Amino acid sequence: MLHLWGRLSSLNVRKVVWTIQELGLSAQRTDAGGQHGLVNAPEYRTLNPNGLVPLLQDGEVTLWESNVIVRYLCARHAPGTLYPEPLAERFAAEMWMDWQQTTLNPAGRDAFIQLVRTPPAQRDEAAVARSAAATEPLLDLLDAVLATRAYLAGERFTMADIPVACEIHRWTGLPLQRPARPHLERWYQAVGERPGAVGVLDQPLA
């Protein structure tokens, strides 16, 4: 059985939980990180020297880094579907997964930290404004791309949609004004209705 360490309030853990559910796999999850601790224990650091979540064990395979875990599970259990086999489609999916980690997540992080994890009296409104200014053009980009295709990598749901949708879930949960983006909203509603997203995209931010 798969063993996943990580608290569900973590965006990165949510990606993996969704993937496990999407694939219909059984897994044991141990809360770790944040108020749950464990990540600094020597035993944990032996498995994940970064001391972060998520961490996945699958038999003799031990992995950390959320998007790598999503790729691994999809490659192992859903080749040709969630893990595309045609190289053009596969690397389109890889591209969006990297974009989520390197571009979209850093842009939105400060607004999330300030508005969800910082007490109101201590919030840095300038940091929120900078974060929103960095994120909104990226959402315009997503909306334009999704005007041309059903999903991020093409006309079917793939591993690419999971990390980006988890990021959009976090952004749209923030108390911020945002313009209508019909193509992004259509896509987000469609992925949110998938059985694998239950317990992930319907959870409050924390």
Second CATH level (architecture) for the domain 2-77: 3-Layer(aba) Sandwich (3.40)
Q: Which of 102, 101, 84 is nearest to 93 (CA)?
A: 84
Q: What is the pLDDT of residue 100?
A: 98
Q: Which of 81, 11, 4 is nearest to 44 (CA)?
A: 4
Q: For the whole model, what pTM was predicted?
A: 0.97
Q: Tens of pLDDT along 148-193?
A: 999 999 999 999 999 999 999 999 999 999 999 999 999 999 999 9
Flag whether pLDDT at 97 surpasses 90. Answer: yes
Order across the sheet with 55-58: list the strands.
27-30, 2-5, 55-58, 61-64
| Cα separation values, 139 from 67, 176, 184, Å | 20, 14, 8
Q: What is the pLDDT of residue 114?
A: 98
What class is the 87-194 domain?
mainly alpha
What span, in angstroms and rounded, lies between the C-alpha atoms of 159 and 71? Answer: 7
Q: What is the pLDDT of residue 37?
A: 86
Q: Do 65 and 39 form a contact (C-beta atoms < 8 A)?
A: no
Higher pLDDT pick, 1 / 161:
161
Q: What is the pLDDT of residue 184?
A: 98
Most distant CA atoms of the chain, gap in Å: 52
Q: Where are the domains of the chain?
A: 2-77, 87-194
Flag whether pLDDT at 128 surpasses 90. Answer: yes
Q: Tens of pLDDT along 28-87?
A: 999 999 899 899 999 999 999 999 999 999 999 999 999 999 999 999 999 999 999 999
Q: What is the pLDDT of residue 157?
A: 98
What span, in angstroms and rounded, lies between the C-alpha atoms of 125 and 153? Answer: 35
